[in-house]
Amino acid sequence: MSHYPALRLRRTRASAWSRRLYAEHVLTPADLIWPLFVTEGDVEEPIASLPGVSRWSIAGVVERAREAASLGIPCVALFPNTPARLRSDDGREAFNPDNLMCRAIRAIKDAVPNVGVLTDVALDPYTSHGHDGLVDAAGYVLNDATADVLVRQAIVQAAAGADIVAPSDMMDGRVGLIRTGLEGEGHANVQIMSYAAKYASGFYGPFRDAVGSRGLLKGDKKTYQMDPANAEEALREVALDLAEGADSVMVKPGLPYLDIVAAVKAEFGVPVFAYQVSGEYAMIEAAAAVGAGDRDTLVLETLLAFKRAGASGMLTYHAPLAARLLAA
């Protein structure tokens, strides 16, 4: 191997054109999925713990989908803020074919059919207790009974026009049941993006504010979401979901789990997505607000880190900002 001065690694860094030419990874708007919160009424409701992010009416999320199309963002992800009167212990509003989520899906697909719609499959936006599934008298989240409801939820979302259903509940076996249910109802081309490695994280707080579940949650989610101490277990989770029919898998949260993104990509060579979650977004915004870092630089650097780790794409609330920066 050549040594200094025959080899100067700074030569290729000396000018902007050269840095672009030698870049090992490239970030584009096509790598982005934009999460959107939808609520009832003709409103925009700013979310205090997520500065710059709002809950939108159905008309509002349609306009955001139009914006995504104009920015080259290929997909939006929908999360509903279900009214309190429609939340119940059994989360039955989740499989109402005319619920808030299904109406939002139809409105987006009618208005902007060339933008993909990803939908959350889990019961926490619909339960009065804030858990992702059904609970027994002791408060334990029931796996198989929950999975049966998730299948019904996924089918009504697919019927409304969802392009990707994304089970985020972490129940065992639910991917295979959802795949069978979708096939049986004629939705063979609806993708499943499994939240395969979703950790019981402290970074989800602002999201729970956004969907109205923070104050409802009884206990925690450690009996079904993954222990942050475990990495090999994530590979087992991914292997099972792929065997059951997942088209792609997700790691959540994002930056604290780049090692998991890289390990999943190396082990399976499948499309891996990362969710830059609400707490990560809020930290960047807080740092920028006090001058601890430049927002634009922080956003692009963190998103590029996901790509470097092996992610095919990222869910991020900074998607529209990032797309504009990349187009500049």
State yes or no: is 252 an active-site residue: yes
Tell me what percent of the residues of the chain surpass a pLDDT of 70.
Answer: 100
**pLDDT (average), residues 125-133:** 94
Q: How far is CA 300 from CA 5, 32, 306, in A?
A: 33, 12, 10
Average pLDDT of the chain, as a whole number = 96
Asked if the model's pLDDT at residue 38 lies above 90, the reply is: yes
What are the φ and ψ backbone dihedral angles of 297, each rounded to 5 degrees? -65, -45
Please report the pLDDT score of residue 326 as a whole number: 97
Strand, helix or coil at 316?
strand
Closest CA to 212 of 38, 76, 31, 89: 38
- From the list 109, 221, 252, 307, the catalytic residue is 252
Strand, helix or coil at 275?
strand
Please report the pLDDT score of residue 97 as a whole number: 98
Q: How far is CA 92 from CA 119, 128, 146, in A?
A: 17, 11, 11
Please report the pLDDT score of residue 153 as a whole number: 98
Asked if the model's pLDDT at residue 140 lies above 80, the reply is: yes
Please report the pLDDT score of residue 212 as a whole number: 77
Which has the higher per-residue pLDDT, 328 or 297? 297
Q: Which residue has the tokens 């259903």?
A: 165
Please report the pLDDT score of residue 209 as a whole number: 85
- From the list 198, 221, 265, 307, the catalytic residue is 198
What are the tens digits of pLDDT across the range 178-235?
Answer: 999 999 999 999 999 999 999 999 999 888 888 877 778 878 999 999 999 999 999 9
Contact (CB, 8 A) for 278 and 317: yes
Q: Which domains does the chain have, with CATH numbers?
A: 26-327 (3.20.20.70)
What are the tens digits of pLDDT across the range 241-287?
Answer: 999 999 999 999 999 999 999 999 999 999 999 999 999 999 999 99
Q: How far is CA 274 from CA 36, 158, 219, 304, 314, in A?
A: 16, 23, 26, 12, 5
Integer Cα distance of 251 and 314 in angstroms: 10
Alpha-carbon dihedral sign for residues 10, 15, 16, 20 = negative
The response to whether 237 counts as a known ligand-binding position is: yes
What the block records as the tokens of 99 is 């619920």
**pLDDT (average), residues 298-322:** 98
Please report the pLDDT score of residue 143 as a whole number: 98
Which residues, 6 or more positions from 227, have their beta carbon under 8 angstroms from its beta carbon? 199, 200, 233
Neighbours of 124 (CB within 10 A): 26
**pLDDT (average), residues 55-64:** 98
What are the tens digits of pLDDT across the range 85-107?
Answer: 999 999 999 999 999 999 999 99
Asked if the model's pLDDT at residue 35 lies above 80, the reply is: yes
What are the φ and ψ backbone dihedral angles of 59, each rounded to 5 degrees? -60, -35
